[in-house]
Amino acid sequence: MGIIQRIAWLLTHDNHIDRRIFFFADVFRELGYKVLLFSSYSNDALDNSDPDYVCRPEVKKTIKCYKDRELFQIGETPDPDVNNFFVEFISFIEGYKANFERYPTSCEELEKAGFTSDLDYYFIAGSQKWFSMAVKNYNGEWYVYNNLIGKVRSLKKESIEQINMLDDMVYKVKREKIFNNSLVPFGHLLDMECQNSDIEKCMTHSGESIIIKVKKVDETDIYEYESGNETVILKKRIPLRAISKDEFMGNTYDFIEFRQIIFDYSPILERVKQEINDYPNQSPDIVYVADLPTLPIGYMLKDSFKCKLIVDCHEWWKEQSILWEPQNSIRINAMDKYERLFYQICDLRITVGQLLAEKMSEYFGKKFEVIYSCITKDHENIINRRSDFWQSEFGLPEDARISVFQGSLTTLRNLDNLAKATKYLTNDCYLVVVGAGPYQEEFERIVKKEGNPEKVRYAGWVPQNKLLEYTINAHLGILPYKSLNSYYALSVPNKFLEYYAAQIPILCDGTLMEVANIVTNNNIGFCVNCSDPEELGTAICRALKDNVLDMVKEQYLKIGSKFGYDSQKVYFIKMLNKLVSQ
């Protein structure tokens, strides 16, 4: 009898999945768990960066298989122009072989020998012994001949515009393929044909396969081609369900108020149900829930499967709601009600910092453990500093000293004073803003009016897999947030641990108690009054001096991976061992 693999399901309301969640997924996977991560809709429908264990709330339907096309003998397709094309082509290429004792190895070689046609065609040569020829007739339908098969395959023109675009792109990709299992760059193919501004398209590698996605602008349906199985899949979002009681595994749960006031998790719940229906014998042993919004699903899973339930509180939701929407007493009270209800029944409670854990433990009467956010293992130590990075990205001098702020540009983050502080940046000191958001327009206005726009560059949103490249090439990471209440003082923003992982000096406000403690206790940065623009700007320049980065890096070497992946993994495994033994 084989060993039964343990199963861990992770839940999040995130559209753009928080890097912290991938830490837990990675540890589970390292321990041999089969992991599934259920999340909300992706902000970027064409994004291919999700790991294969991520389950978005969508249904998939295979609508086309290129392998199932109808086969014809040469000269017997229903299109006379295609018949004439292949008759002439076969005659030409066999004559070529007779003269040169081999087939052409490229389309260029074929055309140089004199082959021409009014039809659009692509010649694909895998070696001197085999080839394929794809031709498109005047109706936009493709026909493909392969000399090893000896027959012509048809590809009917579709009524759906997105699939027709896929057809064109598929053959362009195949033309570009090098037949030693590698692929040449093909980003330029996205602009070669089907120039339709109403269609968005994306093409990426996945191992040895190619994935092509197309969708109409302002629509969510995605048509996806994957070269490994040569199929086209239609992906449709699972819609929000009417607000009502939840039916799950034969039980009824009344979380109507939760869905009305806090978060409507119904598409994610339907995706979980879909997984259970498809694989009824693979129920979870452990369910990890990132934050309150999807905790009702975790509650239902625990109740139905008697699995262990972990909640990871990135925020204290009641306190965050008081900060962001102090007038909304209905939402604040609902947050408090459901945090009190759900946290009590969780088997393990985790949060992002020691001081926050102590406060939440005291308030809820249940112990909260601490796991600091960290860079996942596959991102650690894989990026080296480049002396020309900022020059190539923004045209800055090679000796420029760069401070970065990375994150969403929103209110309540003291960004107005950061903008004003740029007035005091001198000589070779610059600020690079890595991120975007609703406050960006106001931030830029303040920079122009009260700061120094010559000292600021904007990178916009940067994908998670490239974000660390910006951080690690900076000379200083800025966390300008100022505590606005007792809860805010306990926060540990993700960007702080990203600066830490990049081993750069960190500049923060002293009112962020947990962050300030880590910075000062480990001598890896500076705490200043970030609400004073002159003090902040002067401190940035002081922190950007040549010797500061080297001094701080020495400190990072001394403290090792105290807040890195390996140390946090050890803490989490200890928690898990205790959990599963209960």
Strands 182-183 and 199-206: unpaired
pLDDT tens-digit readout, 378-390: 655 556 788 889 9
Q: Phi and psi (nearest 5°) for 106?
A: -160, 160
Neighbour count for residue 77 (Cβ, 10 Å): 23
177 has a pLDDT exceeding 80: no
Q: What percentage of the chain carries pLDDT values higher than 90?
A: 58
Residues in CB range of 81: below 8 A, 6 or more apart:
119, 137, 138
d(CA 222, CA 110): 37
Secondary structure class of 441 (helix, strand, coil):
helix
What are the sequence ranges of the domains in the chain?
7-57+240-370, 68-237, 381-560
Sign of CA dihedral 476, 447, 539, 548: positive
**541 token code pair:** 């320049």
Nearest to 476 by CA among 520, 432, 517, 446: 432
For the domain made up of 7-57+240-370, the CATH class stated in words is alpha beta
pLDDT tens-digit readout, 400-457: 999 999 989 999 899 999 999 999 999 899 999 999 999 999 999 999 999 999 999 9
Residue 194: pLDDT band (50, 70, 90) is very low
Mean pLDDT of the chain: 87
**559 token code pair:** 């403290």
Nearest to 145 by CA among 127, 131, 128: 131
Contact 184, 203 (CB under 8 A): no
Q: Phi and psi (nearest 5°) for 436?
A: -155, 180
d(CA 543, CA 464): 26
Residue type, 246: D
Q: In the CATH scheme, what is the homologous superfamily, with its name and number, of domain 381-560? A: Glycogen Phosphorylase B; (3.40.50.2000)
Nearest to 8 by CA among 27, 411, 542: 27
Residues in CB range of 77: below 8 A, 6 or more apart:
83, 86, 143, 152, 154
Residue 158: pLDDT band (50, 70, 90) is low
Residue type, 491: S
Angle, CA 402 vertex, CA 397 and CA 408 arms, to 5°: 130
Fold match, 7-57+240-370 / 381-560: yes
pTM attached to this predicted model:
0.80
